[in-house]
Amino acid sequence: MTPLLEARGIAITGRLAETDLQCRQSGLVAVIGPNGAGKTSLLRALAGIELDAGEVGISGEEVAEAAPARRMRLLSFLPATRSLVWPIAARDVIALGLPSRDPSRVEELIELLELEPLAGRPVNHLSTGERSRVLFARALAARPRVLLLDEPLSNLDPYWVLRTLEILRGETNANGCAVLASVHDLNQIAVFDRALLLSGGSIVADGEPEEMLGSSALSEAFQIERKGSGWQIRAGA
């Protein structure tokens, strides 16, 4: 069976060690690790934004060989930064995620992300959380096979954290896509299907979220340990 996502020897000098990774089916994958562990580097390498070595294939197609329009159907990347300086209407920013003009898809996403009051406003006049929703809509626009999302839950209020996770689950169920998302709040990863733990620029653990939360690998990487329903600094850290 051809993997939905297959990375072979991807690396970024000084930031991401040579890495192999496969996603054989659709689902939500949490990318976790302490600051500087390589989460963003992994996502950027998978997206081909920064890649010093290796190859990435999606459903058997090599991303590097795909034409720009086809590439938008294969993957999309949501950067951690929400800075937008262009005085462009939110509706038009969403449309930038499409390989060809499709007003009905833009309006569908405006409704899905509850952006109707903001659709005509310049994105540089929106709050950080509002810009996050606009950029999330842009990432969803082409219905890509793989969504690479860097901190998609940051800057969101509790309703939009839950709603974003709900929308992502809907995408995996409806379109059979794989979602890889970097997450800082460890309490959020329980809703994911799989967790990748990075430390020192390498994937050091890969497994089910609940098992990951109780693992020695996670405790060592973050220098914390479970205490009741919460966390405490690891003894001797």
Give the pLDDT confidence of 189-230 residue by residue, as tens digits: 999 999 999 999 999 999 999 999 999 999 999 999 888 878
Determine the pLDDT at residue 97: 97
pTM reported for the whole predicted model: 0.95
Determine the pLDDT at residue 82: 80
Report which of 32, 54, 43, 53 is spatially closest to residue 199, judged by C-alpha positions. 32
Instruction: Show the low-confidence residues of the chain (pLDDT under 70).
Output: 237
3 state DSSP class of 38: coil
3 state DSSP class of 154: coil
Determine the pLDDT at residue 237: 60
Name the strand (E) or helix (H) holding 205.
strand 202-207
Determine the pLDDT at residue 172: 96
Determine the pLDDT at residue 225: 87
Determine the pLDDT at residue 12: 97
Determine the pLDDT at residue 182: 98
Cα separation, 165 vs 192, in Å, equals 9
∠ Cα 215 180 30 (to 5°): 25
Determine the pLDDT at residue 58: 97
Question: Which residue, chain included where needed, has tokens 């606009």?
Answer: 134
Enter the tokens of residue 165: 């996770």
Q: Do residues 133 and 115 make contact, with C-beta atoms less than 8 angstroms apart?
A: yes
